[in-house]
Structure 1
Amino acid sequence: MTVHCRRAAAWAALVLLGSGCAAQQPSAAPGPGTGDPALLETGNRLALASPAIARLWPGFWSPRHGFILAQPHQAVLLVSERAPDSVYSPLPPRGVPRALRGRAYLARGEVPGLNSSRGFAFDLRVPVAGSRLTAVPLKENPAATIEFLVHEAFHAFQLDHFAPPAREDVAFDARSASDPWFAALAEVERRQLARALAVPRDSLEHVLRGYLAVRARRYSAAAASVREEELHLERIEGSAYLAGVTAAAISDGSGPDRVAAVVRDHLSTPLDVPDARWLLRARVYGTGAAIGILLDRLGVEWKARLQEGATFHALLAGAVPLRPGEAEDLATRVLEEAVPRRR
C-alpha cells in the first residue's frame, strides 16, 4: 500500500459525505450573462478575504486561492488561477467583481458527480486543471458559506499535511461514552472553557487549571478507546472549525472577539444528540477551537505542533500544568460550583 493510500485510510473518518472525485461535466453550457448574483457576491467576499485568510495557518490558503461555489440545480461558480477544462466557460469581465476577473468560470445547471451542485453535502477535493479545489453549496448568507467552505478545505489540507493519529485499533466503547457521569463532566468542561474565553488574562490560568482538573477526573474513568477518539476528533474538527469561523469573521469585517463569541456560544449551547459517539463528536468542535484561541492568548506557538501530531489537550496541559496533588481538590471545587448542593 502506498504512503498516500495509508494516509487516506487513516483519515477516512474525516470524509463522511463528500468525495471530491467528481467528474466535471455540466448539464448545460452557461448563457451570456455574468452568473448568479449570490454566487458572485459570496465569491467576491471570499476572494477579498483570502489574503487575510492566508495568514491563518502556514501553507493552508493562498491570497488567490481557488474554490467552487454552487447554487444547487442552477449554477456552479469556479474560481481558479488555472483555466479549467472546457466544461466551464469564462465569465466576461463586465459585471464581474474586480477580485474575480480573469479567474471566474461558470457552469449552469447541475454538474454530474458534483455533490454541491445537487445541494448535497460538499466535495472535498475536486480535480481542476492540475489542482484540487473544495466545493460547497451556498448557505443562508455569504459568511456562513465561507465558514463551511474553509472548514472543509481545511480538512483537505489536513489529509495531506497533518500527521496521522497514532491510535490503537480498538473498538469504540459506547458504554463508557454513554455513562451519565462522563457526559455530565464533559458539560462542566464546556462551560469552564466558555468561562475561560470571557475572563481577563490574569484569571485565565486559574480557570484553565479547573478545566484540566475536571477533564483529568473524567478521563480517569473513561475507556481508552473513548479518550483516543475524543483527542483525535478534537484535534481535527476543532482546528477546522476554528479555521472556518475565523475566515467567516474576516469576510464580514469582524475581529478576534467575534470569533471567541461564536465559539463561546457553541460551548454554551446544550447539545441534543442521543447517540454517545456523535455527541462526543459534536462537543469537540467547540472545545478544540476554544483551546486554540486560549493557547494564542497564552502566547503558545501551537499550530506546527498540532500539525505534527500533538493534541489540543496535551498542548494546553503543557502550557498550564497542574501542580502535584492539585487536580482532585480543584476538580471537586469546580464541580461544586457547577452543581451547588441542595440545602
Structure 2
Amino acid sequence: MRPVLQRCLIAAFASVAGISAAPAASLNHLARDIAELDPQLSTLWPGYWPPGQPFVLYRNGRCVMRSSVAPAADFAAVDTAPDLYAGRCGDARFRGPMVLGEAIAGVEAPAVQISGRRADLDRTATFLLHEAFHDFQSDAFKDADRISTDFGFPLDEDLVRMKLRESSFLLSAADTDDRARQIALVRAAIATRKARLARMPAAAETIEDQYLRYEGTAEYVSMRTRAIVRGSEEPAKYLQDRLKTLSRNMGRTWEYMLRWQGYVTGAAAGLLLDRWEVDWKPHVAAGMPLYAILETASGYSDAEAAALLEASARADVGGVHATARQLVRGDIAAGKALARFERASDFTLSVRTDTEGSATFDTTEMHTIADGVLVMTPSPFNSAIDGVYELSVRARPIRMWNAPDEAPLGEAAPADHGLLRYDIALPKAPAIEGCDAPATRCGAGTRIRARGIDLTLFADHVLEHGENMLVVRPVETSAQAEQVDGED
C-alpha cells in the first residue's frame, strides 16, 4: 500500500473541486457507458485499463461496481448490464471523493464519488481514469515514491515569469499542427527551464520532475479519456481551461507553481510526443524525466540556448508579466491560511497515525507553509487504517505533516518519528465517549467527537491531555517514547 501522505496528496491534487454528477439512479448508466469504452480506454497507456477493469462509482452510501468477478454477498447483480453490481458502501472510506488501492466487497477496484446535481460521462470518466491511473503508477512506475512538499523557495518575479513562459510555450506547441513551430516552442521552453532551474535550489528540478511524472501523465490520461468520450479532440482548449482552473488557488510558494502547472505541462508534453510518434511511455515508467525525453525528441542543443532565451525574454505570452506581479505581490494566501488555523484553534486535537493507511480529502485551498507542513480546510477529510481508527473532518482547519523518520546523529529519535500528524483546530475540547476521562489509554469503541470531527478508535491508543490540546497516538509509539526517556 502506498504511504499515506502520498495517497493524501495525490487525492487532493487530482480532485481539488471534485466533479458534478447525476442522481444516484444514473450510476448504473454511467458505469455501463464507461464499461463499453474498454477497447478505447485500454489504448491510453501500456498495461493500463485492461478489458474488464473493475471500478466503483458511489454516492450517498450506494455503490455500483463493474467487475468480471462477483463481489461479496452484499452486492447484487444489475439486470440491465453484464458485470454490474449494486450495493451499499456506507463506511468511512466512502465519505471522501475516492477510495484507491483497496478491496471493496472483496474486489480490488478504484472508486470515485459522484456528487452534485449534474453528471455526464465526460467528467465522470476523466475523474475515474485519472484517479485509477495513480493506483496503476504505484505498481507500474519504477521507484514510485511520495511526492515531496518540503519546498518553500521564495517567489521571485523574474523566475515566475520564466516559469509561466515555459508553460505557455508548451501549451502553444500543443495548439499548432506545424511541426517546425512545435519544435521551436518546445526548445524555447527547455532553454527557459534550464536557465530558471540554474538559479534555484536543486530540489526544484526534482520536485518538478515528480509532478510531471505523476500528475502530468495522469492529466494526459484525463485529456485522452475526454477525447475518447467526445469522439473528437480539443487538447489545447482542454489544457488552457485546466490551467486556469487549477491556478485559481495557487499559493505563494514555488511548490504550488510547480504542482498545478505540472498537470497541464506534463499532459502537453505527452500530447506532443504522441504527435511526433515517440515511444515515450515506457521511458517515463522507467524513471526518465519528461523534459529529458523532450530534449532528445526536439533535437535541443545548449548551443542555441542564448538565442532562445533572448527571444523568450521578449515574450509576454499569456500575460506573464501581469500574472507574475499578481502572484508575487498580491497573493499571501498561505500566510492567511496559517492565521486562520491559529485563530480557529482554541483547542487542538492532534492525531498521530501510522504512515500506512488510506486518506482522501476535497479542498479548494491547500498551502505548504514550511518543512512540508500543509494547511488546509477540507470538506470533507477522511482517514482510516483498517482495525486501527477512522477519522472524518469537515470544514475544520487542519495542519498536517510527517514527523522525521530519523533523528540527527547523536540524538534520540522523537516520539513521533515515522508518524503522520494531523492537528485539527477546534473551538473547544471534544467529547470522549466509551472511555473514562481523563483516561490515558483508551481502547476499541472509543469515540472522540466535536462539531466537524468524528474519530473512532478500533485499537488501543494513548490519550495525552495537555493545555488546550488532546494528543491521540498509537500505543506502540508511546511505549517507544518511554523507552527513549529511560535511556536518557
Interval of TM-score (by shorter of Structure 1 and Structure 2): 0.7 to 0.9
Which residue pairs with 1:138 in the alignment?
114
Which residue pairs with 1:207 in the alignment?
185
- Asked if 1:233 is matched to 2:193, the reply is no
Q: Which amino acid aligns with 1:201?
A: R
2:223–2:235 contact (8 Å) kept in structure 1: yes
User: Equivalents in 1 of 2:145, 2:54: separation in Å?
Assistant: 32
Which residue pairs with 2:39 in the alignment?
51
User: Equivalents in 2 of 1:296, 1:205: separation in Å?
Assistant: 13
- Asked if 1:113 is matched to 2:92, the reply is yes
Pair 1:68–1:268, CA change in 2 (3 A): closer
Measured against aligned partners, the alpha-carbon deviations of 1:151-209 in whole angstroms (never above 9, x if no partner) come to 01000000011011699x99834125x23222221111111111101222232111111
Identical pairs, percent: 26
- Asked if 1:249 is matched to 2:249, the reply is no
Which residue pairs with 1:80 in the alignment?
67
Pair 1:283–1:303, CA change in 2 (3 A): same
Size of the aligned set, in residue pairs, is: 303
What value does the CA root-mean-square deviation take over the aligned residues? 2.8
1:56–1:243 contact (8 Å) kept in structure 2: yes
Which residue pairs with 1:312 in the alignment?
290
Which residue pairs with 1:37 in the alignment?
25
User: Equivalents in 1 of 2:149, 2:90: separation in Å?
Assistant: 39
Question: In terms of mean alpha carbon deviation, does 179-188 or 219-228 score higher?
Answer: 179-188
Task: Give the unaligned 5+ runs of structure 2.
Answer: 13-22, 322-488
Measured against aligned partners, the alpha-carbon deviations of 1:40-59 in whole angstroms (never above 9, x if no partner) come to 12112211112110011111
Measured against aligned partners, the alpha-carbon deviations of 1:204-224 in whole angstroms (never above 9, x if no partner) come to 111111111111111111111
Written as runs of structure 1 = structure 2, the 5 A alignment for 1:1-343 is 8-9=2-3, 12-16=5-9, 36-71=24-59, 73-91=60-78, 93=79, 96=80, 100-101=81-82, 103-108=83-88, 110-115=89-94, 118=95, 120-128=96-104, 131-138=107-114, 140-141=118-119, 142-164=121-143, 172-176=150-154, 178-199=155-176, 200-251=178-229, 253-255=230-232, 257-267=233-243, 271-272=247-248, 273-276=250-253, 277-338=255-316
Q: Which amino acid aligns with 1:160?
A: D
Q: Which amino acid aligns with 2:70?
A: A
| Superposition TM-score, scaled by structure 1 size | 0.80
2:38–2:50 contact (8 Å) kept in structure 1: yes
Question: In terms of mean alpha carbon deviation, does 267-276 or 141-150 score higher?
Answer: 267-276
User: Equivalents in 1 of 2:225, 2:148: separation in Å?
Assistant: 36
User: Equivalents in 1 of 2:283, 2:311: separation in Å?
Assistant: 32
Deviation at 1:247, TM superposition (A): 1.5
Matched residue SS, 2:315: helix
2:42–2:49 contact (8 Å) kept in structure 1: yes
Matched residue SS, 2:312: helix
Deviation at 1:114, TM superposition (A): 2.9
Deviation at 1:268, TM superposition (A): 6.1
Matched residue SS, 1:62: coil
Pair 1:175–1:269, CA change in 2 (3 A): same
Q: Which amino acid aligns with 2:108?
A: R
Q: Which amino acid aligns with 1:90?
A: A
| Superposition TM-score, scaled by structure 2 size | 0.57
Rg bigger for which structure? 2
Q: Which amino acid aligns with 2:6?
A: A
Measured against aligned partners, the alpha-carbon deviations of 1:216-248 in whole angstroms (never above 9, x if no partner) come to 111111111111011111111000111122123
Measured against aligned partners, the alpha-carbon deviations of 1:54-92 in whole angstroms (never above 9, x if no partner) come to 011111111221100012x1521111111111121222x
User: Equivalents in 1 of 2:145, 2:49: separation in Å?
Assistant: 26
Matched residue SS, 2:258: helix
Matched residue SS, 2:153: helix
Q: Which has the higher helix share?
A: 1
Deviation at 1:129, TM superposition (A): 6.4
1:137–1:145 contact (8 Å) kept in structure 2: no
2:140–2:285 contact (8 Å) kept in structure 1: yes
Matched residue SS, 1:274: coil
